[in-house]
Structure 1
Amino acid sequence: MNRKVSLLLLLLSLTGCGSIGFPGVYKLTIQQGNIVSQEMIDKLKPGMTRAQIQFVLGNPVLADAFDSQRWNYIYTIAYPDQPVIKQELIIVFEDNRLIRFEGDYVPSSAKAATQS
């Protein structure tokens, strides 16, 4: 009898190691960083000053300590039970003026040119 109870307790404790999640647990969507819209990207023009870029995009998430001519705008969103989505925009300055930007964003004019 004691052996059956021990076996039953062992089996019940092993069910907690299963891959089935606990029902009813709410998982949050987590957003971090700067939200950058297509409208913001389309406002970026070569020659803009740092203040103008900051007005359009806000403060950068990461200002490179070793390269003051580069600002990073990073946005991540983590939906429950899905891979994390990461978008990055790198602003490059020369003499405190925008010379280019790179990353996951493309101006609307460039999108239109590649589609035609």
Structure 2
Amino acid sequence: MPKPMSAPARRGARRGAIVLLAAVLAGCAGTGERLSNVVTPYKVAVVQGNFVSREQVQMLQPGMGRQQVREILGTPLMVSVFHGDRWEYVFTLKRPGVEAQTRKLTVFFKDNVMDHVEGDEMPSESEFVASLTSKVSKPKVPQLEATEAQLARFPKAESAVPGPSPAPAAPPVASYPPLESPRR
């Protein structure tokens, strides 16, 4: 039969259990929003469809064949089975922290020849590239050189008077142990 615990041992065990319970409860309390905002997952930019520029749309002329339109604009994002006389070009760019960009263009065909084009106002290539650059402010670069006024605030260092230089000391004699033990 086990021996009962003494009163001081029981109090010590009870205090230890209370401290352990308090530590567990403090750990479960969480840190709220602070910690979850410190570590954020990487969010990738999502690009769907072919970008169609204003220059490409201006190259399209009524009467062009499907192959010519495909060479200028690329493969359409959607070709409907029910509407074989039109191609849908939809371009979407979703980036974290930036509003999603969506551009739509529909090319209509009549007898396998382009009839007309409808869609959003397309940006030029340079306008599109300019919209991709992030507006990150450049940090202030610290000044690496002090001006004369800043240097004047510090006391002048006393120049060392060159004296006779001591004669160079002889290098210490090196003593190395033998690499192999002597033969017996």
TM-score (norm 2): 0.50
Q: How does 1:1-116 map to 2 (within 5 A)?
A: 1=18, 2-12=20-30, 15=32, 20=37, 22-23=39-40, 25-105=41-121
| Equivalent position amino acid for 2:25 in 1 | L
For the pair shown, which has the larger CA radius of gyration, 1 or 2?
Answer: 2
**How well do the aligned residues superpose, as a CA RMSD in angstroms?**
2.6
Q: Is the 8 A contact 1:92 1:101 kept in 2?
A: yes
Higher strand share: 1
After superposition, give the CA deviation of every residue in 1:81-107 in whole Å (9 maximum; x if it has no partner).
23321111111111112111111136x
| Equivalent position amino acid for 2:74 in 1 | G
The runs of 5 or more residues in structure 2 that have no matched partner are: 1-17, 125-184
Q: Percent identity?
A: 31
Q: Which has the higher contact order (CA 8 A, sep 6+)?
A: 1
Q: CA deviation at 1:19?
A: 5.7
| Equivalent position amino acid for 2:92 in 1 | T
Q: CA deviation at 1:21?
A: 5.1
For residues 88 and 34 of structure 2, the distance between their equivalents in structure 1, rounded to whole angstroms, comes to 42
What's the counterpart of residue 113 of structure 1?
Answer: none
Displaced runs of 4 or more, over 3 A: 16-19
The runs of 5 or more residues in structure 1 that have no matched partner are: 109-116
For residues 100 and 63 of structure 1, the distance between their equivalents in structure 2, rounded to whole angstroms, comes to 16
Give the length in aligned residue pairs.
106
Partner of 1:60, secondary structure, is coil
Q: Is the 8 A contact 1:63 1:70 kept in 2?
A: yes
